[in-house]
Amino acid sequence: MKIPRGFLFSAVNCGIKNKKLDLGLVYCQDFCQGAGVFTKNANPSYSVTVSKQNINNPIKAILVNSGNANCYSHPRGLEDTGDIISELAKKIGTSKNNILISSTGIIGKKLSKEKIIKGLPRLIKGLSKNCDGFSQSILTTDTFNKSLSVDLKSSSGKGSICGFAKGAGMICPNMATMLGFVLTDFSLPRGAYRKIINQAVEESFNSISIDGCMSTNDTVFFVSSKEVILKSKKDIDLFSRKLKEICLSLAQMIVKDAEGATKFIEIEVKGARSCSEAKKAGMYLANSNLFKCALYGENANWGRIISALGHAGVRVKEDIGIKHSPLKKNKIYISIDLKRGKKSWKVYTSDLTPEYIKINAEYS
């Protein structure tokens, strides 16, 4: 996989998990421009709280642990998180304000800062351009690594965008028990960058649902090493398209890896009065347990669509248009024409299966 210039990676087992990689690091060789999108859960993890404070500063490193959500576990949790990034900052010669941190795993269990701090020297020593360990270290119930990259050629020079993600359950915008890391060596004005990122996230990570449950830890970081400065509208538009493709592909990988799922489902809502109405209708379907169970059973009980649309406040007439691909396939496309307007939106979800219940009944 092509890695943008200016980034190094590392991963170790620090003892949070039994033998598996559980601590990852993205190191910026020079200070990078960062942006982030975070969970809207009112009870965020300590890691989310710290990263929200630091995201607008020049970024030197991103530290990620899996196996523990670092959330609502003890009164000193926020202070411990600050101690962890302070120790990393000292070891790489920067300020704790230039460090981002993400955590994923079980909520309510104390994260051992001692184990993480003890693992930092090995983590730093192992830095290289090989990102395989990092992509593995961020996983929890995932069954495969989620990463990809794309090369771009602009009038200012060549560069690339790469992305890593994790997530398989507790998935619902805004956003999900998911982490995403999108790195690039392209740079553009912060205002334009922020606008492109918001659009990309809205059409991807915020348009998926597996179980309708919003996590406390959702984070997507966008980090630029600023090697190639994009100036022309043509180049910026190309970057925007490719960034959206990366984000959508990562989001779809999460849905394809949904806990216990047997179906990947793409829902396109057409004929809406606005994009927001189309998205709202689609997400109510994606979060309907009745609808998702029907698809697991390959049962075209479309009365459940009408019910979900009504729950969303979308009133339709009897001539609503519903089309679908064969339900026996593991990839299903469903088109719903509301016949209310001209706007549309796509959302992505999975079926709801007995295996999902089993996985989450035993998760501890």
- 3-state per-residue secondary structure call for the chain: CCCCCCEEEEEECCCCCCCCCCEEEEEEEEEEEEEEEECCCCCCCHHHHHHHHHCCCCEEEEEEEEEECCCCCCCCHHHHHHHHHHHHHHHHCCCHHHEEEEEEEECCCCCCHHHHHHHHHHHHHCCECCCHHHHHHCCCCCCCCEEEEEEEEECCEEEEEEEEEECCCCECCCCECCEEEEEEEEECCHHHHHHHHHHHHHHCHHHEECCCCCCCCCEEEEEEEEEEECCCHHHHHHHHHHHHHHHHHHHHHHHHCCCCCCCEEEEEEEEECCHHHHHHHHHHHHCCHHHHHHHHCCCCCCHHHHHHHHHCCCCCCCCCEEEECCCCCCEEEEEEECCCCCEEEEEEEECCCHHHHHHHHCCC
Q: Which one from 177, 216, 219, 349 is the annotated catalytic residue?
A: 177
Contacts of 20 (CB under 8 A, 6+ apart): 13, 67, 136
The CA distance from 195 to 192, in Å, is 5
CA distances from 72 to 44, 112, 233 (A): 8, 14, 45
219 is catalytic: no
Instruction: List residues with catalytic annotation.
Output: 177
